[in-house]
Amino acid sequence: MVDTHATTGQAAIRIPSDAGELGDALIPLLSRSSSVGRVTLQCGTGWYGLLIELDAKIASICPGYVIDQVKEKFGTLRFYISPPSVSLLPCCADMTIKQERARDDNEEAGIAFLLERHQAGEEHAEALRITRDYIQMFEDGQDAIYEIIREYEILSGKCCEECGEPGVLSDNGGWYRTLCPECAEG
């Protein structure tokens, strides 16, 4: 089962059905701007706690950072991000969606007019100003941000990807996983 939460101007987020009691704590991470439209977690539940911490630490340096991909690779966490981007402004998302739909209905000119009017408006100007501040924060903080990501990649190699208990990174015939003794047996 999938819970959806509507967020303004963005695709509804999806809380993974295996998140359990961490579901609510994952909302800030799942609500971030994503270069692929929606943040998805391509790793085991055992790392969700690490992800929540990691996201909060990055967001304290730059709240508008953009998530490209969150996944497991060779047994450890990969957290790929980008600087904030004007092209991902949530206030424009509705317009972009309407524009795409309008293309089929041959209403493109009307929607282009709406978009233009939106971009001349107060809401857009404010969002643009905030995003430019975020871009500056990212630039100033990126060394610290990438250091934190490296730190959590290392931490993931000591945390069972299945259950979150202390784990060991091991190579099972070229298949790398970080698991606790119990999950490694099961």
Q: Which amino acid is at 55?
A: D
Cβ–Cβ < 8 Å for 4, 34: no
Closer to Zn ion by CB, 81 or 89: give it: 89
> Which CB atom, from 58 or from 111, has the smaller least distance to Zn ion?
111
Q: Which residues pair with 67 in a beta bridge?
A: 34, 81
User: Which positions touch Zn ion (CB under 5 A)?
Assistant: 89, 91-92, 124, 160, 162-163, 165, 180, 183
Helix (H, G, I), strand (E, B) or coil at 37: coil
- Nearest approach in angstroms of CB 146 to Zn ion is 28
CB of 106 to Zn ion, least distance (A): 24
Q: How far apart are CB 91 and Zn ion at their closest, in Å?
A: 4
Residue 179 is classified by DSSP as E
Pick 66 or 91: Cβ nearer Zn ion: 91
Compare residues 103 and 129 and give the one whose CB is closer to Zn ion: 129
Least distance CB 100 / Zn ion (angstroms): 16
Q: Name the burial class of residue 172, with classes exposed (0-12), middle (13-18) and buried (19+) by CB atoms within 10 angstroms of its CB.
A: exposed
DSSP for residue 111: H
CA angle at residue 84 from 155 to 41, to 5 degrees?
A: 40
